[in-house]
Amino acid sequence: MTRIGIILGSTRPGRNGEAVARWVYDIARQRTDAEFELIDLLDYKLPHLDEAYPPAMGQYSQPHTLEWAAKIDSFDGFVMVTPEYNHSTSGALKNAIDFLFREWNNKAVGFVSYGSVGGARAVEHLRLIVGELMMADVRAQVALSMFTDFENFSVFKPAEHQAQALGGTLDQVVAWSRALAPLRAA
């Protein structure tokens, strides 16, 4: 069965991302075409990148890196839930991505973003980053506006059309994850 990790890319206290990631997970787990798991960066306690060698060398020495690598390696694809901070993704998500290399390779990734302009700029930065990691980013995405999908900028109440957008994103992530399986097996 294809395994898709839903990465909650914010660690900020009072984060909106937790409600968004749970919404993604609740919708995803109703599907029968893949297994889905919610991955909360708070559970991994990754410090600022502290490995002596570049991740592409695969010579991880820290226990937290080894745990993170095993978790990411266990998936065929991902949905990254990202806030937009200062026209980019969160530092916590970028740091978590930067810890690894091979574990990301030949996997599909889709994005669910939120911010004043739907987190679109965060996703544009992430698309550049994941390309370097040999990931296939899908076209479909969910862009949640702080003005229309949140009440008082803090209570998540997605517009009805957002569930359809999420369905399209999940369809593409699952399909691309399956299509990339021969590359991961090589």
Model pTM score: 0.97
pLDDT of residue 14: 94
Which domains are delineated in the chain? 3-185 (3.40.50.360)
Q: What are phi and psi of 13, to 5 degrees?
A: -60, 135
Q: Among 159, 164, 176, which Cα is nearest to 108's?
A: 176
Residues 6+ apart with CB under 8 A from 42: 8, 11
Tell me the pLDDT of the chain averaged across its residues: 97
Q: What is the CA radius of gyration of the chain?
A: 16
Query: Residue 88 in 3-state DSSP?
Result: strand
Model confidence over 77-128: pLDDT tens digits?
Answer: 999 999 999 999 999 999 999 999 999 999 999 999 999 999 999 999 999 9
By residue count, the chain amounts to 186
Residues of the chain with pLDDT under 70: none
